[in-house]
Amino acid sequence: MSALKPKSYGDGDASFQAAGGEAGIRQLVDNFFDRMGSDKRFITIYELHPEDKETSRDKLARFLCGWLGGPKLHEKYGAIGIPRVHAHLPIGEAERDQWLTCMSESVAEQPFEQSFKTYLMEQLYVPAEAVRRRCAREIQA
């Protein structure tokens, strides 16, 4: 049964539900930013963020709700293309990996099913790598 599970997380709002809905996603994002701000391994990406980290938390949480098949709460801030909103930032492999490591350690602490934790991190690699590629293009230009 568990072998079939990862497939179904892409259906409808299955991922949003597996993450515990908006409350579960906000808990994950709070853990992610708390970790980023308190662990020196993530200082580079923490300092790339604007001063107002409350807005950063809110934006990421709202984005993830829609991205995981739940309500499109990020519309409050307007339309968004993930690579584009990062294009002005110096994000290479090291920064991409800081983001993914920080997120993966936060995901590990959530009360999600193990199969969803694995699925979520596989899915997050895709936009994280798209961000890195977009930023590399920007540096060359």
Question: Which candidate, 103, 105, 107, places its Cα nearest to that of 95?
Answer: 103
Indicate the residue type of 12.
G
Binding mask 93-112 for ligand HEM (x = CB under 6 A): --xx--x-------------
Give every CB contact of residue 135 below 8 A, 6+ residues apart in sequence: 86, 87, 89, 90, 91, 92
Does 131 bind ligand HEM (CB under 6 A)? Our answer is: yes
> What is the smallest separation between the CB atom of 118 and ligand HEM, expressed in angstroms?
16
Whichever of 17 and 97 has its CB closer to ligand HEM, that residue is 97
Sole binder of ligand HEM in the list 9, 63, 116, 119 (CB under 6 A): 63
Task: Write out the DSSP string of 3-50.
Answer: TTHHHHTTSTTHHHHHTTHHHHHHHHHHHHHHHHHH-GGGHHHHHHS-
Does 33 bind ligand HEM (CB under 6 A)? Our answer is: no
State the burial class of residue 98 (Cβ atoms within 10 Å of its Cβ: 0-12, 13-18, 19+). buried
Whichever of 4 and 139 has its CB closer to ligand HEM, that residue is 139
Q: Which of these ranges, 18-26, 28-36, 91-99, 110-118, lies near ligand HEM under the rule CB under 6 A?
A: 91-99
Residues forming the site for ligand HEM (CB under 6 A): 45, 48-50, 56, 59-60, 63, 77, 80, 82, 85-86, 89, 91, 95-96, 99, 124, 127-128, 131-132
